[in-house]
Amino acid sequence: MQRKIKLVIIIATLSNGGAERIAALLSENLPDNFEVSFLLYKDEVFYSYSGNKYILKVNTDNKIIKQILNLRAINKYIDEIKPDLTLSFLTNPNILNLLSISHTKIISVRGVRSKSLKGLGGFIYKNLIKLFYNKADSIVALSKGVKEDLIDNFKIHSNNINIIYNFCDIERITNEKNIKLDIKNHKIFEKPSIITAGRLEFPKGHFNLLRAFKNVKNSIHDAQLIILGKGKLKKDLVKLAKELNIFNSVHFLGFVENPFKYFSKADIFVLPSIMEGFGNVIIEAMACSLPIISTDCIGPKEIITNSANIKVEDEILYAEHGVLTPVFKNNKYRNNNSLTKEEVLFSSAIINLLNNSSLKNRYKLESQKRVKDFSKDKIVKNWIKVLNDFNLS
């Protein structure tokens, strides 16, 4: 009889995020010889998962003490569970995993940390990454761009980094996308509709998106913008939409458990991010047969062009599997600022797809083909290979 491999996954929560969704999906799709346990900082679970769940239950506002207590709690559970492997997602859990008493440590790096870590906290984390990441038994980078960032900016050994893209549960999305919307929301999609999804935070580029959408409205008067996701910037974004006189055409629907039933009703999916390690929401939108427009924010280009080496700066790139535009400058522009070159190009790409049905249909078909490269079966095999490299069975 095959011995069970005990895997502990360390992550802050299982709610409202791409890393969280992938950790949960991975637990549900590993072979039966894996016994999975989650160590969560908080008891926040939106995604279905398979395995045991343990909550660290650390309550203090002191950031240093919180990390010490989190590490103590992690070590307590590791000592109790006695896992063969610990796998962590995101920077803070990665650091604590590497400091823990676990014997075999795998960390998953999800973003371009040289750009996303800011301020004093970012400075500290950057130095911790340089100090500790080479101590991992294996590093899983989300994309070629993430791997290059680790090597070039943090001096991480390249031979210890595996690239595993996020996977897409195509079968599940196919089932969920066909669920009907209520009458109120269904009416939104009777007009030309653009949809996006992501946390309402600066790196996601929503300020630029609203300003670009104002330009779209000047050409396509009945266009509608649907924004899925929650976050601290909602009030500011609502204020900007009102200042731009587009509020009645912008629909902030918050976090939804099934975004796919909204995706499948839209005409175009857009990703306006300033930076993304991969852009999991793109392949989910592709599974809903949506044409894709994205800024050239590191990870998405590997989905849209099959390459990490292309750089889009002054023009729109109509690539193999979607459309790329130059990345926005990370600034909080208001309604009285002139549109930037990047915002003009982004809005032009939207207008062109909405007005060109043959181009839009071509990219719908490309999405249906491309998403198969990120199927659950293909990507889970890559994870199993990494997890089995330590000859634990």
d(CA 254, CA 200): 9
d(CA 360, CA 363): 5
| C-alpha closest to that of 269 among 207, 360, 334 | 360
pLDDT at 135: 96
- Assign 232 to helix, strand or coil: coil
Classify residue 314 by burial, with Cβ atoms within 10 Å: 0-12, 13-18, 19+. Answer: exposed
Q: Amino acid identity of 391?
A: N
| C-alpha closest to that of 272 among 354, 367, 346 | 346
The 10s digit of each residue's pLDDT in 292-328 is: 999 998 889 999 997 777 889 899 999 999 999 999 9
Strand partners, 106: 87, 138
CB 11 within 8 A of CB 42: no
Contacting residues for 239 by C-beta, under 8 A, at least 6 apart: none
- The continuous run of DSSP H or E covering 67 comes out as helix 63-81
pLDDT at 109: 93
Q: Spell out the per-residue pLDDT of the chain, length 393, in tens.
A: 678 899 999 999 998 777 898 899 899 999 999 999 999 999 999 889 999 999 998 989 898 999 999 999 999 999 999 999 999 999 999 999 999 999 999 999 987 777 667 777 778 878 889 999 999 999 999 999 899 989 999 999 999 999 999 889 899 999 999 999 988 899 999 999 999 999 999 989 999 999 999 999 999 999 999 999 999 999 999 999 999 999 999 999 999 989 999 999 999 999 999 988 888 899 999 999 999 999 998 889 999 997 777 889 899 999 999 999 999 986 666 777 889 999 999 999 999 999 999 999 999 999 999 999 999 889 989 999 999 887 555
CB 155 within 8 A of CB 149: no
| C-alpha closest to that of 210 among 232, 235, 236, 240 | 240
> How wide is the angle at C-alpha 253 spanned by C-alphas 249 and 259, nearest 5°?
115
d(CA 233, CA 240): 11
Q: At what angle do helices 18-29 and 376-388 cross, to 10 degrees?
A: 80
Going from the N-terminus, what domains does the chain have, and what CATH number goes with each? 5-167+375-388 (3.40.50.2000), 170-373 (3.40.50.2000)
Dihedral over Cα of 153, 156, 162, 167: its sign: negative
The 10s digit of each residue's pLDDT in 170-179 is: 999 999 999 9
Q: Amino acid identity of 308?
A: A
pLDDT at 163: 94
pLDDT at 216: 98
Strand partners, 53: 38
Q: What's the number of CA atoms in the CB half-sphere (13 Å) around residue 214?
A: 21
pLDDT at 17: 76
Q: Give Cα 73 to chain centroid, integer Å.
A: 28
Per-residue exposure over 264-279, b if at least 16 CB sit within 10 Å of its own CB, e if not: bbbbbbbbbbbbbbbb
d(CA 34, CA 19): 20
d(CA 63, CA 125): 13
d(CA 95, CA 10): 11
Q: Give Cα 204 to chain centroid, integer Å.
A: 10
d(CA 80, CA 19): 26
Contacting residues for 344 by C-beta, under 8 A, at least 6 apart: 212, 215
d(CA 393, CA 338): 61
DSSP state of 278: S
Task: For 90-122, give the DSSP string.
Answer: SHHHHHHHHHSS-SSEEEEE-S-HHHH--HHHH
Tokens of 180: 């009907």
